[in-house]
């Protein structure tokens, strides 16, 4: 997809078209739809929950949620109730689960808005109080910790949690809609802990069923488990990273998994100048030009979400990809165009791509993850609000789910 193609659509989040032209994250919603359809086919007969927390990993929660539902996802998942309420406020009424709460979470609003609530333990009484107040049964999913060591009832607490939930269900205060857990190492398919977690999950389901729980959905799999472990699919798979077209596996890229990266971060070369051999570049002067050279200034920095540690990350201009040299600063970073002549200074104003879908060898979020020593989840999610999102291939309003 070219920027020109994307730009022909009405920008959804901009602070003026000049800003968009200067730098933007172009989100190709056709790529999201393609990826969702791919996961729907892999997971069937299980359904797909599109995980759109953290503003859809930086892609835009409302736009991605609509595209995902359009392409066959049946559920939406977020971490915070506030994220769920924002989706409801946008008119999205699909089944929607929020699973990470604090004592200040707005359970009343969640119950009122028909948001399903993940319950690890202490939340149960607070949610029941909200249901009483709202005079509406809460919809809950009981979460068991099968080994990740974060949220979820421990196996020891599980019996009691299930028993209390069933008492409240009998009183008509809630409905246990689901049972779920989260995997720790599914991105490393050789690791045996996934088998242990799966066995613990099956055991927890058996305990709940013995206690009379009759769920609509049992769910465990994330993106890597959906791709590599059909035995973890149960009734519903919770797919985040894969929706955005990114690979969860080291050594396997998006194309090899049949996925299309949805986000392209691009800007314009801000300045271009000829410098002598030995020119220091950026704070710390950690890089010096090894010969007379031309430096290109790229107006993206850590305030835009580029990791400060990612020196060496690739930037594509035209057909050529250059590594970032010297330290990445708050607003800018520098590439060394090499010993090119003054004519090349004409690159000022040329489009510079930080990462995109990787076709024709272009830079990817995976490349930036490698340069920063992190994962591709973090690269896309941290692209900051200073970079306007623009949407390619957004469905016309009348056709939206
Ligand atoms: C509970 C839960 N389920 C599913 C996901 C989606 O994971 P992934 O992006 O690997 O598909 C997440 C994301 O971290 C999560 O926290």
Residues 89 and 232 in one domain: yes
Say how many Å lie between the first and final Cα of the chain, rounded.
24
- Is 263 annotated among the ligand-binding residues? no
Residue 19's pLDDT is: 73
Are the CB atoms for 109 and 82 separated by under 8 Å?
no
Domain residue limits at 364: 263-392
In-domain check, residue 202: yes
Residues 214 and 333 in one domain: no
Are the CB atoms for 28 and 215 separated by under 8 Å?
no
* Catalytic one of 53, 143, 168, 322: 53
Count of domains for the chain: 2
Residues 155 and 42 in one domain: yes
Are the CB atoms for 269 and 350 separated by under 8 Å?
yes
53 belongs to the catalytic site: yes
* Span from the CA of 145 to the centroid of ligand 1 (angstroms): 14
Residues 195 and 277 in one domain: no
Residues 163 and 236 in one domain: yes
Residue 345's pLDDT is: 65
- The token pair at 386 is 């200073």
Q: Is the CB of 270 under 6 A from ligand 1?
A: no
* Span from the CA of 51 to the centroid of ligand 1 (angstroms): 7
Residues 201 and 311 in one domain: no
Q: Is the CB of 81 under 6 A from ligand 1?
A: no
Residues 274 and 201 in one domain: no
Cα angle for residues 150, 152, 157 (degrees, 5° grid): 120
User: Residue range 49-65: average pLDDT?
Assistant: 98
Of the pLDDT bands very low, low, confident and very high (cuts 50, 70, 90), residue 285 is: very high
- The token pair at 366 is 């995976």
Q: Is the CB of 301 under 6 A from ligand 1?
A: no
Position 265 pLDDT exceeds 80: yes
Atom of ligand 1 nearest to the CA of 248: 10
CATH of the domain at 46: 3.20.20.10
Lowest mean pLDDT among 6-10, 33-37, 128-132, 138-142: 6-10
Nearest to 318 by CA among 335, 304, 293, 331: 335
- Report pTM: 0.94
Nearest to 202 by CA among 150, 164, 158, 149: 158
In-domain check, residue 98: yes
Position 400 pLDDT exceeds 70: no
Lowest mean pLDDT among 13-22, 48-57, 117-126, 297-306: 13-22
pLDDT tens track for 378-396: 999 999 999 999 999 988 7
Q: What residues form DSSP beta bridges with 297? A: 271, 334
Q: What is the CA radius of gyration of the chain?
A: 24
Position 61 pLDDT exceeds 60: yes
Position 52 pLDDT exceeds 50: yes
Cα angle for residues 22, 244, 85 (degrees, 5° grid): 90
In-domain check, residue 257: no
Residues 153 and 272 in one domain: no
> E strands along 181-278, which residues?
217-219, 236-239, 263-268, 271-275
- Give the up-direction half-sphere exposure of residue 32: CA atoms within 13 A in the CB hemisphere: 34
Residues 199 and 142 in one domain: yes
Q: Please state, in angstroms and as integers, the Cα–Cα distance from residue 332 to each residue in 100, 328, 366, following that order.
A: 35, 6, 21
Q: What residues form DSSP beta bridges with 97? A: 77, 116
Q: Is the dihedral of CA 149, 155, 157, 160 positive or negative?
A: positive
pLDDT tens track for 9-44: 333 344 456 777 899 999 999 999 999 999 999 999
SS3 375: coil
In-domain check, residue 254: no
* Span from the CA of 225 to the centroid of ligand 1 (angstroms): 10
Residues 94 and 229 in one domain: yes
Nearest to 174 by CA among 120, 126, 131: 131
CATH of the domain at 348: 2.40.37.10
Check residues 12 and 124 and name the one with the higher pLDDT.
124
Of the pLDDT bands very low, low, confident and very high (cuts 50, 70, 90), residue 3 is: very low
Residue 340's pLDDT is: 66
* Span from the CA of 341 to the centroid of ligand 1 (angstroms): 49
- The token pair at 270 is 């801000």
Backbone region of residue 55 per phi and psi (left: phi > 0; alpha: psi in -120 to 50; beta: other values): left
Residues 200 and 293 in one domain: no
Among 245, 273, 298, identify where a domain stops: 245
Residue 7's pLDDT is: 35
User: Residue range 277-289: average pLDDT?
Assistant: 97
Q: Looking at ligand 1, which residue's alpha carbon is closest to its atom 8?
A: 240
Among 197, 217, 245, identify where a domain stops: 245
Residues 66 and 171 in one domain: yes
Are the CB atoms for 234 and 47 separated by under 8 Å?
no
- Is 330 annotated among the ligand-binding residues? yes
Q: Looking at ligand 1, which residue's alpha carbon is closest to its atom 13?
A: 240
In-domain check, residue 277: yes
In-domain check, residue 12: no
* Span from the CA of 238 to the centroid of ligand 1 (angstroms): 6
In-domain check, residue 4: no
Q: Is the CB of 316 under 6 A from ligand 1?
A: no
Of the pLDDT bands very low, low, confident and very high (cuts 50, 70, 90), residue 1 is: very low
Residue 397's pLDDT is: 74
In-domain check, residue 7: no
pLDDT tens track for 175-223: 999 999 999 999 999 999 999 999 999 999 999 999 999 999 999 999 9
pLDDT tens track for 158-182: 999 999 999 999 999 999 999 999 9
Residue 182's pLDDT is: 98
* Catalytic one of 57, 168, 283, 391: 283
Atom of ligand 1 nearest to the CA of 182: 1
């Amino acid at each position: 997809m070219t920027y020109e193609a994307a730009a022909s659509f009405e920008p959804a989040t901009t602070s003026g078209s000049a800003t968009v032209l200067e730098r933007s994250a172009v989100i190709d919603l056709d790529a999201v739809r393609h990826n969702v359809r791919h996961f729907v086919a892999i997971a069937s007969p299980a359904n797909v929950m599109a995980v759109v927390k953290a503003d859809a990993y930086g892609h835009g929660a409302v736009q991605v949620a609509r595209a995902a539902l359009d392409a066959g996802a049946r559920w939406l998942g977020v971490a915070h109730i506030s994220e769920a309420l924002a989706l409801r406020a946008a008119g999205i009424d699909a089944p929607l689960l929020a699973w990470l709460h604090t004592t200040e979470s707005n359970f009343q609003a969640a119950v009122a808005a028909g948001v399903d609530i993940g319950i690890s333990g202490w939340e149960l009484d607070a949610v029941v109080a909200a249901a009483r107040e709202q005079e509406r049964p809460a919809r809950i999913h009981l979460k068991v910790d099968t080994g990740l060591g974060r949220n979820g009832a421990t196996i020891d607490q599980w019996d009691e949690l299930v028993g209390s939930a069933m008492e409240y269900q009998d009183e008509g205060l809630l409905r246990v809609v689901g049972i779920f857990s989260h995997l720790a190492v599914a991105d490393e398919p050789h690791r045996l802990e996934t088998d242990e977690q799966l066995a613990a999950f099956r055991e927890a389901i058996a305990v709940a069923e013995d206690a009379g729980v009759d769920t609509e959905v049992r769910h465990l799999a994330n993106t890597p488990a959906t791709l590599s472990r059909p035995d973890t699919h149960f009734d519903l798979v919770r797919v985040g990273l894969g929706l955005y077209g990114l690979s969860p596996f080291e050594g396997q890229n998006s194309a090899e998994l049949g996925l299309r990266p949805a986000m392209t971060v691009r800007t314009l070369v801000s300045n271009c100048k000829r410098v002598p051999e030995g020119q220091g570049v950026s704070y710390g002067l950690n890089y010096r030009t090894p010969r007379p050279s031309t430096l290109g200034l790229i107006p993206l920095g850590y305030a835009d979400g580029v990791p400060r540690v990612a020196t060496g990350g690739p930037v594509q201009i035209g057909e050529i990809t250059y590594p970032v040299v010297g330290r990445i600063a708050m607003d800018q970073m520098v590439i060394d165009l090499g010993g090119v002549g003054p004519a090349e200074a004409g690159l000022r104003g040329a489009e510079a791509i930080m990462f995109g879908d990787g076709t024709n060898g272009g830079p990817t979020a995976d490349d930036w993850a490698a340069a920063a020593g992190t994962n591709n989840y973090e690269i896309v999610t941290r692209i900051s609000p200073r970079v306007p999102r623009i949407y390619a291939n957004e469905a016309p309003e009348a056709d939206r789910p």
